[in-house]
A and B are shown apart, each in its own frame.
Chain A
Amino acid sequence: MATQSPASPNTTAENPPTSATEIVQPKNEVQQHSQAEAPKPISEPSVFKNSEPLREDQVQNAVKFLSHPKVRGSPVIYRRSFLEKKGLTKEEIDEAFRRVPDPSPSAQATTTTTNQDGQVKSSSNIQPLAPTQALQPAAAAPTGAISPGGTLWRSRFHWYHAVFAVGLLAVSGAGTAVLIKNTFVPRLKSWIRKVVLEDENDILKKTDAKPSLAEEAAAAAKAAAAAAADVAKASQEMLNSKNNEKRYFEEFMNLLDVQVQEMKSMSNSIRKLEGQTNYSGRASIASQEDHRISMTNVKQQYANGKTDFDSRSVRSSSPPAPVEPSIAPHPKSYMEIMAMVQRGEKPSNIRDINDQPPNPNQQLSNPRLAPRAKAQNGSSHVPQSEVSAEGLNYMVQDDGVNNQLENESAVPWWQRKNVRISEIENENELKAGPNEAAEAIRRPKPSVQKEQLAGGDRSVSHPSDVTDELQRITKISETGNAEEINGGAQC
């Protein structure tokens, strides 16, 4: 194909037996030209590219995001991925990266050689939870100001918890102390007053009645005993409450310890998983799909409201919000197999199969049919040449008719020949009335044969040409020469 059209590929008149492919290719060219926003012969802006100018506000937000210290610590691929998810175009992301001095050597995601394995990502995050967290921290971390290393988050959690517990204890201790003081001090005072009063009474009554001294002494002793008993009670209460506090504290610490143990065991099992071969990686990928769903639900709560970006609101105003994903119930045997694989066992029904090619240089067999015309290329609103449209339609009809002739019974059961109420439009292509059918039989058969020859020749003779052309295109793209591309690409 490359050799046939040094000039414009639109000149197909030179090749009468060319098949639909030849017609389709220049049609592509025509369509591309017609669809280009500003049709120029040299470089037409492709519809598949972003032609919007840079949005300065988005770039500003991205720069702010990239300058955040916690974001600096994350791999470049996550930063790019986060920005892409926010709706920034490639140009805007590149501009933001340019503006923020990046200490890391590879700022471009395309050259990143970060290990893409899901498990390794998680290990780089020292994430004790399932490796699903690895992706979501990239999204949630910058937005929620939760660091990519979840340890900080986790330890702060501990911290916070411990601080809270200690504070609670202190407060309760102080409260009980105050309470005790309030109950103890008045008692003490009253006791003192009692004693003092009795002393006074004693002094008064000393002169009065000496024999009552013993009684008073006894009374005083009794009062003292009572006071002592009170004090003892109060101190007992204090001790009890202290003990309770201690017990609660102990229980609490135990709970925390248990949690820590659990997390440790989880991280151990994850490390075990990492150490295993590929297939268990697949198992965790599959479970990741499920886990990420549940994890992101949790993460979203933290992420929302801590983000700087407003672009999210643009998209959320569109038609009904996407439904929260739920994990589909897997078949029971699936779960069994997953469990087996995660334990490291191999299911018993696997055979050793050698599926390597017996002859790596095996020649392809000769094709028997030329590429067929498709309805989608034949019937569309895009303008085409008359000849090609008719030719395509005839070929499609012909195939239906051929089938008719082959089978003694009617058309194969899967062909729809009836008119259904709801679907009428494209029936015309497939239905063949008797006269049309006869014509169709007579006319396109030779063309089909010719097609076969042409197709056979084309496909057998220059396979390498085709790939050379493809390689040339892609090589050119890498060097960035636009003009040559458009000239040589459409064949």
Chain B
Amino acid sequence: MPFFKTPFNGYSVKFSPFYESRLAVATAQNFGILGNGRLHVLDLSPTAPTLSNLVSFDTADGVYDLSWSESHDSLLIAAIADGSVKIYDTALPPTANPIRSLHEHTREVHSTDYNPTRRDSFLTASWDDTIKLWTVDRPTSVRTFKEHAYCVYNAAWNPRHSDVFCSASGDCTLRIWDVREAGSTMIIPAHEFEILACDWNKYDDCVIASASVDKSIKLWDVRNYRVPIAVLNGHGYAVRRVKFSPHRRNLLASCSYDMTVCLWDFMVEDALVARYDHHTEFAVGVDMSVLVEGLLASTGWDELVYVWQQGMDPRAVVLAFEQTSGKGKKLGDSYLCGMYSCKLEMNAIRWNRAMYGSALRCSWKLSINLFVVGHPFDV
């Protein structure tokens, strides 16, 4: 499964809603404490399991989050740690970017989300306790929502109701807002500790998931919000991000400071469906692709971005053999050494596509590019 090494610590990863093979990663230097940032736009090669950098944009301060525009296939919104919100157009040359820099927040902007139904506006949530509503063409925010008593860590639009969104804050409450109303319409005291993320269920527009520092994820039905409909325990440390699957009603993905990415089915008694522990530092970003079912991406402070199909091992090693030497050359980190040279003698290795889902072309005579994908300890 492909991975990409970013020069800075990863903070967020999002798939493009227009191209199945495209995703963007927000990174920040020095763990986001102090330093520059970079926004990468990566492309998945369809033939080989590799991630390549299409374009990257440097910023003066760390990029904490990003979101793709839903109306424009090349626009990106970046949430910057110096309080600004920058808009990038990947179709324009890097020298013409960013096309906008909106500076209204007084503290770090921690999250941004683009409206998937109305497609014309986006939200930014900041540590200055406010959430701002913007449109791409206006230089100033359309609205500011100021009610939280502490940093707002995440804001997410409802996938069906174009005017409703929820926000998660360090004041331990979830708030539901309607842009047609003056203030929040619902306050859910979801956890006893800071809430780091929230997301709506894509198939039931009244179900929200909230992820907190108390290591749990709680699911709430807004029609009966005093008691959660499920509590998902299993992470060892604070849960940083939570994302509902766009393809399965009951499935959600979460990433945590315990370096794992977990998949949950909240309607089942034993909710944990899968646990991926491929990161070696805090896993801070996770996304599930809208266009490709089961495709997951995650990033962490270990400066790696992984993209994998649900059910596979994200760390499955990719080995590329050079044609002349016939010796193996490893791409990126791997735990194997020298064990694969003897396998070269085999002819026409065909991998069961059903097992690994990857296309493999090889002819052992030419051996130009032989990709062997598999679990490191199986090869």
Contacts and interface: CB of A to CB of B under 8 A. Distances in A.
A7 interface: no
A109 B136 CA distance: 29
B179 interface: yes
B151 A285 contact: yes
Nearest to B135: A467
B71 interface: yes
Given A362-B92, A430-B293, A84 B187 contact: yes
Contacts of A125: none
A338 B191 CA distance: 28
Interface in A362-378: 362, 364-365, 367-369, 371-372, 374-376
A119 to B, nearest CB: 12
A132 B288 CA distance: 35
Interface string A226-255: 000000000000000000000000000000
Contacts of A341: 33-34
Interface string B12-34: 00000111110000000111111
A464 B161 CA distance: 22
Given A47-B222, A355-B58, A328 B257 contact: yes
A318 B231 CA distance: 9
B149 A337 contact: no
Please tell me the size bucket of the interface on A: 35 or more
Interface in A28-74: 28, 31-32, 46-50
Contacts of B180: 473-474, 476-477, 485, 489
B100 A360 contact: yes
A90 B248 CA distance: 34
B233 A323 contact: yes
A277 B212 CA distance: 28
A464 B248 CA distance: 36
A46 B58 CA distance: 43
A474 B226 contact: no
Interface string A447-467: 000000000000100011011
A76 to B, nearest CB: 10
A54 to B, nearest CB: 14
A193 interface: no
A319 to B, nearest CB: 5
B10 interface: no
A352 B75 CA distance: 25
B114 to A, nearest CB: 11
Interface in B288-330: 290-295, 301, 307, 309-311
A283 interface: yes
Interface in A245-268: none
B343 interface: no
A167 interface: no
Contact of B46 (A46, A352, A412, A425): A412
Contacts, number: 347
A367 B246 CA distance: 24
A283 B133 contact: no
A318 B179 CA distance: 32
Given A21-B119, A25-B117, A364-B75, A355 B101 contact: yes
A313 interface: no
Interface in B118-137: 118-121, 127-129, 133, 135-137
Contacts of B358: 413
Contact of A466 (B120, B146, B186): B120
Contacts of B79: none
Interface in A326-377: 326, 328, 331, 333-334, 337-338, 341, 346-347, 349-360, 362, 364-365, 367-369, 371-372, 374-376
Contact of B142 (A21, A286, A470): A470
B189 interface: yes
Contacts of A425: 248
B200 to A, nearest CB: 10
Given A46-B178, A418-B357, 8 more contacts: A138-B149, A282-B108, A356-B98, A365-B91, A406-B46, A409-B359, A466-B135, A467-B135
18 contacts: A25-B118, A87-B226, A322-B233, A328-B236, A331-B301, A347-B29, A358-B95, A362-B99, A367-B73, A372-B291, A412-B46, A413-B359, A414-B292, A418-B354, A464-B137, A467-B135, A467-B137, A489-B162
Interface of B: 17-21, 29-36, 44, 46-49, 57-60, 70-75, 80-82, 86, 89, 91-92, 95-101, 107-108, 116-121, 127-129, 133, 135-139, 142-143, 146-147, 149-151, 158-164, 170-173, 176, 178-187, 189, 191-194, 202-203, 205-206, 212-216, 222-223, 226-228, 230-231, 233, 236-238, 246-248, 257-258, 281-282, 290-295, 301, 307, 309-311, 353-354, 357-359, 361
